Amino acid sequence: MSKYWSNLVRRLQPYTPGEQPRRSDITKLNTNENPFAPSPSVMAAIQAQLTDDLRLYPPPEADQLKNTIADYFSLRPEQVFLGNGSDEVLAHVFNGLLRKDLPLLFPDITYSFYPVFCQLYDIQFEKIPLTSDLCIDVKDYHRGNGAIIFPNPNAPTGDLLALDAIKALLQSNVDSVVVIDEAYIDFGGVSAVSLINDYPNLLVVQTMSKSRSLAGMRIGYALGSSELIEGLDRVKNSFNSYPLGHLQIAAGIAAFEDKAYFQQTCNQVIQSRTSLTGSLEEIGFEVLPSKGNFVFVRHQHYEAAIVAKKLRDKGIFVRHFDQERIREFLRISVGTEDQHQQLLDTLKNLINQHLMK
């Protein structure tokens, strides 16, 4: 602790992201990156933007990307908010829309950045326990609140909430902002975007890091009523006028325009998830039903922390959360067929050689 820090810094407990080792010899199934490369047209678009104009500030509102995203979702540009990755978008959402007198509600098992944002912005919150099978029951959110947020599908469980349940939640919370964090929605879920024009209190947050294979470019966005977006713009314009550079804007536009590639790679991830699920079940794992690009699994015999460590020793990274209720689970990202084979072969070896202890 330094005397130069503000009181805020003294009490912060920062978020810990999954490891990002830069070695090429590892099998990286720990941070839910897409196994497929970005669309070739994204590469071409960045290439075309590599000009002397990089000396110039980007358009502060990134209008062209906003227009592209608005068109894609049949919304108006003033219903789109952009940020430097969906974590930045979420940060502004917490500060601008979720900081209320009554507590914010979110699940007890969820994206672990939420309580960190609450610390950063001094937001009271209540964690609502998932059901015994680790699902969200919207009836549990029928209580006094300043706002509500959860991922759909939820992380790290992969559980998808149906649109009817979200509609019910919106109807019973007309005075609260309800944020659906759809980082993983494109892998088999149904987006709440279609409800935006009916519910001015609904904000949908998405990212280009997962289904659009652009984690390395940092592009996130939020979709909602123009009044919610205006609130976010006021926060953004009090923080950083230009969160997205020229290359990010170009990449984002191209990614949305290549619908065929997007559809094809999402479908392949979904198929791979199904086959990975089956293979893991065959060797004694319970696999929760997942609509994300990951599976959340536990083995009937082996401790998750030990499995994670043994895999890591073999160069395979998966994610273990040392946290109540999910300590027995591992989150494994859907990878390539090769990566799955390595994972499964290694697991089988460890099991056969009785090395899981």
- Footprint (CB under 8 A) of a copy of itself, residues 239-298: 239-248, 251
Strand order across the 125-128 sheet: 80-83, 220-224, 202-207, 177-181, 147-151, 104-107, 125-128
Kindly state the tokens that stand for 38. 């970005």
- Considering only 214, 304, 311, 318, the residue that binds a copy of itself (CB under 8 A) is 214
Using CB under 8 A as the binding rule, the residues of this chain from 55 to 74 that contact a copy of itself are: 55-60
Using CB under 8 A as the binding rule, the residues of this chain from 325 to 344 that contact a copy of itself are: none
Closer residue to a copy of itself in complex, CB, 54/162: 54
State the Cα–Cα distance between residues 178 and 114, nearest whole angstrom.
14
Closer residue to a copy of itself in complex, CB, 97/276: 97
Closer residue to a copy of itself in complex, CB, 145/280: 145
State the Cα–Cα distance between residues 26 and 68, nearest whole angstrom.
36
Q: Is the dihedral of CA 136, 139, 143, 149 positive or negative?
A: positive
The least CB distance from residue 237 to a copy of itself, in Å, is 3
The least CB distance from residue 207 to a copy of itself, in Å, is 11
Of the candidates 144, 14, 113, 182, the residue with the CA atom closest to the CA atom of residue 128? 144
Please check whether residue 170 is in contact with residue 138, taking contact to mean a CB–CB distance below 8 angstroms: no
* Binding residues with a copy of itself: total (CB under 8 A): 85
- Considering only 29, 157, 184, 218, the residue that binds a copy of itself (CB under 8 A) is 218
Q: Is residue 14 at the binding interface for a copy of itself, with CB under 8 A as the rule?
A: yes
Using CB under 8 A as the binding rule, the residues of this chain from 155 to 194 that contact a copy of itself are: 175, 177
The least CB distance from residue 319 to a copy of itself, in Å, is 13
